[in-house]
Amino acid sequence: MPAEHSIPEDKSRRTLIIVIAVAAAVLIGGVFYLLMKSSARPPGPPSRLEGAVRPGSPDFEKYGKLIALDETEAYQATSVLGGLQMSLSTTVRNFTGRPITGLEIRAAVLDHQGQPVKERTIVVVPGQRDELEPYKTMTVIVKLDGMKDSDDRANIKMEVTGFTLR
């Protein structure tokens, strides 16, 4: 003989199952949100080199021109979230005759008026390397996120903004 089920009993079970399913979905969504949030912005290198020789100082005038940057190249891609990401790349050449123990570089995308659309300053030594030996080279890539396709991107620029020598 088949078991009889009453309609109110089925309705309460269905409600309980729906509540548990919604709670599980919210919990799983929360876990994914926290994982995405924590991995979205990995900690990067510091953006300012402490104790660096800066533009305007006599040492910067003397050694700054001996730290050569090749012509900057740019690559762009659309990010997963729909924004535009540009990667600016150059080769740094050390002609100072001394090891570079700290190197700070500014990368910028400029509009037609020469104003920065997006810019970022990073410390690449120490970071990518402990130091850059005399007469050696190093490739530097700086990623610039958060631009729109409609932004006025007329030019790119990378420059040395600080350094320390041994």
How do residues 44-72 score in pLDDT, each as one tens digit? Answer: 555 788 899 999 999 999 999 999 999 99
Is the per-residue pLDDT at 1 higher than 60? Answer: no
Q: What pLDDT is attached to residue 80?
A: 75
Distance CA(122)–CA(115), nearest Å, equals 19
Instruction: Please give the mean pLDDT across all residues of the chain.
Output: 87
Distance CA(114)–CA(25), nearest Å, equals 49
Residue 118, judged by CB atoms within 10 A of its CB (0-12, 13-18, 19+), counts as middle
How do residues 19-31 score in pLDDT, each as one tens digit? Answer: 999 999 999 988 8
Q: Give the pLDDT mean for 114-139.
A: 92
